[in-house]
Structure 1
Amino acid sequence: MARPFRSPGAALRAALAFLVSAILIVQPAMAQSILRDAETEAVLHEMSEPLIRAAGLEPKNVTVVMVGDPSINAFVAGGQIVYMNSGTIMQADNANEVQGVIAHELGHITGGHIIRSSEGMKQATGITLLSLLAGLAAVAAGAGDAGMGIMMAGQQAALGKFLAFTRTQEVSADAAGVKYLAAAGISGKGSIAFFKRIQNLEYRLNIPQDDSYGRTHPLTSERLSVLEHQYQASPAWNKPTDPGLEARFQRIKAKLRGFAWDSAQTLREYPETNKTDAARYARAYAWHKSAYPDKAMTEVDALLTKAPHDPYYLELKGQILLESGQPAAAIPPLREAVQATRAQPLIAALFGHALIATEDPRNFDEARSVLKAAVTRDNDNPFAWYQLGVVYEREGDIPRAQLATAERYNLQNRPELALPNARQAMQGIKEGTPDWLRAQDIAMVSEAAMSKKKKR
């Protein structure tokens, strides 16, 4: 009786599973939302600027972007952008720990690791395809089990080859991080502390610590043994973090916890007996999120008593007033916050929203001006485009309201909605003008994106 064997189709699907897993390793999932906050972005820029310069890069071209994910992680995915999970900030003890993470990720950027990852994929894919062909030949000859064994062994070898490639990149990024921290005059103590935090997490999760073969990164213990010696050799090893920077970091950490955590958890971590600025900041967000505007305002007013012109406290006060149905009262603190930050686009968009929410036509001209300036300085802001569309609609400028809507959907990667709005805008805007050309560009990009989706 002939021995049964798996079909070639099933074998092919099993072999191709490796290719999918490898792609996931190279490109971390980006399904999480991007979190944007003016103060957090300013502090992250301040923390990273000396490291960016030490890496030979231009600070204006490098961005640290916060991803709404409570886990500890940071990564690069092309370009000069460091993506950092919100959990990394919330679980870090101090600014120096986060600077260590940023220095490591800059090592991936300067090393061109995302671009070069195709080299590792190419090698691994070659092994997979060769084993796939050999295995299918064996299956066709009637040796089903042997054919599957060849293919599975090839998959394992290919994955091992690719993981070895990524581990080499991680070692390279570690070395670059040491170099950049030293050149910037920043201690590596935070980096070591953060690695130990990861190691403790691995112990709790029962992640094996005796074999790095099946890992994308070297063993944490191996990295610590190398890095601790290198960091201690730096003249900056015992240099403390600037107290002002550390205070600003603790503020954004508390703010983020107040925003992201369950309100009860925030109040346990920052009880009302804690009168520090960071604790008040966290509680203000927790109370506001829980629909207790009076309690939130009490915390903000206490902060403003100590720092009456702090733009971010003023921003929060305006946000609480606006979102509790008092847009007119929100205008003065938001206007001062915009002026103090030189029209920071995220704060300006909130100010524009408050002006529109008053329903007073006398405020629409200022709202339009503020919002146009905001999207000019920061085009990647769907909320600002939405508000600009609202004010255009209120003023009766429907074509430009449609253009603003097209801009918003284009940023949100929704070409099926961006396209009709762009086409409608083109019909009402004078041909050849900058706005008409922009609508045309969005229409063309959206058409191409929809065509690509259909082919898939």
Structure 2
Amino acid sequence: MYIRSIMFFLNRLILTALLTAPAHSANIELPALGDTASAIISQQQEYELGQAWLRAYRSRISEYNDPQLYDYLEELLYQLAAHSELKDHRLSLVTINNPSMNAFAVPGGVIGVHTGLFRYAKTEHQIASVLAHELAHLSQRHFARRVEQQRKNATTTMAAMLASLVIAATVGGDAGMAAMTASQAHSMESAMRYSRQNEQEADRLGIQTIYAAGMDPKGVPGMFEQMLRATRYTGSKPPEFLLTHPLTENRVADAKNRVSQFPLKHYPDNIEYHLMRARALIAIEKNAAASLNRFNSELEGDSLNKDASRYGLVLAHMGLGNFDDARKNLSQLISSSPDRLTYLLAEIEIDRREGKYISAIEKAQNLLRHNSKSYALRMMLAEVYLKANQFTESEKVLEELAQRYPDRPYVWFQLAEVSGLAGDIAGVHKARAQYFILNGVFDKAREQLGYARKLLVHDYQETAIIDQQLRDLADLQEKMKNF
């Protein structure tokens, strides 16, 4: 009965705070997390808990599906993780198009990044400082340690802790607090905030991680300065990141002191960061004309990186349908860096938008010979095939991606659409099932697998695979009930 009351509280709390959730999220199935006596969990349980949280989160937000930005952030994240104290390197990256300065880590290796973080981080070293900090929280298992502290104080439950993470990551601290009663808000605010000791520990380890990864540790105090500047601009309301990671004078002073102990060294800036920053800024603005003005102003005045500003012009012109202007600016970039994949992908994108599908496909296939592992390039090729009405070819590319990246809902969503156009109805249902599983909508996933099984009833191998998937789905649901 006590477990049921906790689950009622958790579901009521989330539903109250997230009133704008998509319709399909009503069928989300969250884990029963038990009482405070079960607060100490193993790393495997923590991973499974994180995956359960991720399914709930995905059902309530729209991920920002830019394969190029995703590729960049994932590569940076794994570069940092390789030099961190993290023992379990199973990481799940989530990108959200939100203008707020925010990033978050959830136990079990889930890392979330808002596009708004790119507005404030002026260099790759600064954005790396935020990711390294979050990795440090994960490596030191600060979430589990907070749960144990709360257990001792008997002030909150593990379920409430998870609810606070959903709220903080989805709607921001203030909105989440406004949706609760005063007593709930006090408990959640306490649960959401890391202790000063946790923060200093994460700062220290984050600095070490950045330095070990060959990046500039001064990115840490540099990012702190950007956060403080953002706080001044927004008045009394701090950036979302600082709601759960309070920034004190002692933290800033301690970080500067630690960084000063490293030998002076020149750390080159990475242009790819600035190119991805341009993509993020355009996504945030959602107005190609405004973006065009922004990047024109940067080229005429101050710019963090002139090539990135010109790349922003290329993207803005594409958004406005000014393909000649886009090609003109892009040609300048390609002439100086003819092998940069980001520029070559832009060239393919212009071809696709102009309907020059044969040219786009040839360019993409040629690039694959030297960039076979590029997720962004393969997604681009699948999109070109789709626009060229070569549905079977697009389906093949997406099926390969689904095998390589089975935990990416966007791949399964695209595969379901293309499979339908290719006449592969069973494939539609199988892809939809995987998409629903990753979004925690298990009843719809079971329904889709049932449809696929009926269509493939005479295919013994396929029905055996589907039967196993149904058993795995039942096991997953049972595991979530018995956390």
Higher relative contact order (CA 8 A, sep 6+): 2
Q: TM-score, normalised by structure 1?
A: 0.73
Corresponding residue for residue 463 of structure 2: 436
Q: Which residue of 2 aligns with 1:427?
A: 454
Tell me which amino acid in the other structure corresponds to 2:115. S
Map Cα deviations across residues 163-210 of structure 1 (whole Å, 9 max, x no partner). Answer: 77633322221222133234444332111011112122223334399x
Q: Counterpart of 2:259? A: 231
Which residue among 222, 241, 262 is the counterpart of 2:267?
Answer: 241
Pairing partner for 1:199 from 218, 228, 232: 228
The Cα of 1:343 is off from its aligned counterpart by 4.5
8 A contact 2:194–2:245 mirrored in 1:
no
Matched residue type, 1:242: P
1:328–1:112 distance in 2 versus 1, CA, 3 Å: same
Q: For structure 2, list consecutive stretches of 5 or more residues without a partner in the other structure.
A: 1-8, 18-49, 158-180, 301-305
Larger displacement relative to structure 2 (254-263 or 425-434) = 425-434
Q: Residues 90-115 of structure 1, C-alpha deviation per residue, up to 9 Å, x if partnerless?
A: 32111111121122111101111223
Q: Determine if contact 2:128/2:219 at 8 Å carries over to the other structure.
A: yes
Q: Which residue of 2 aligns with 1:146?
A: none
Larger Rg: 1
User: Aligned-pair distance for 1:271?
Assistant: 0.6
SS in 2 for 1:90: helix
**Residues in 2 aligned to 1:253 and 1:41: alpha-carbon distance in whole angstroms:** 12
2:150–2:156 Cα contact (<8 Å) kept: no
Q: Mapping of 1:344-355 within 5 angstroms?
A: 344-355=374-385
Give secondary structure in 1 for the equivalent of 2:112: strand
Q: How does 1:7-406 map to 2 (within 5 A)?
A: 31-57=60-86, 61-62=90-91, 64-126=93-155, 162=191, 166-207=195-236, 216-235=244-263, 238-243=264-269, 246-261=270-285, 262-271=287-296, 274=299, 276-359=306-389, 363=390, 366-390=393-417, 392-393=419-420, 396-406=423-433
- For residue 430 of structure 1, report the CA deviation from its aligned partner: 5.0
CA distance in structure 2 between the partners assigned to 1:77 and 1:389 by the alignment: 29
Kept in 2: contact 1:47–1:95 (CA 8 A) = no
Contact 2:118 2:281 in 1 (8 A): no
In structure 1, the gaps of 5 or more residues are 1-15, 129-151
SS state at 2:262 partner: coil
Q: 2:278 corresponds to which letter in structure 1?
A: A
* C-alpha deviation, 1:64, in angstroms: 4.6
Deviation at 1:382, TM superposition (A): 4.2
Q: Would you say how many aligned residue pairs link Structure 1 and Structure 2? A: 402
Equivalent AA in structure 1 for residue 255 of structure 2: L
Matched letter for residue 202 of structure 2: A
Matches within 5 A, 1:400-419: 400-419=427-446
TM-score, normalised with respect to structure 2: 0.69
CA distance in 1, matches of 2:96, 2:338: 31
RMSD: 4.1
Which letter does structure 1 place at the counterpart of 2:344? L
Amino acid at match of 1:265: A
* C-alpha distance in structure 1 between counterparts of 2:338 and 2:297, whole Å: 21
SS at match of 1:270: helix
> What's the secondary structure of 1:271's corresponding residue?
helix
- Secondary structure of the equivalent of 2:116? helix
Alpha-carbon distance in 2 for matches of 1:184, 1:452: 37
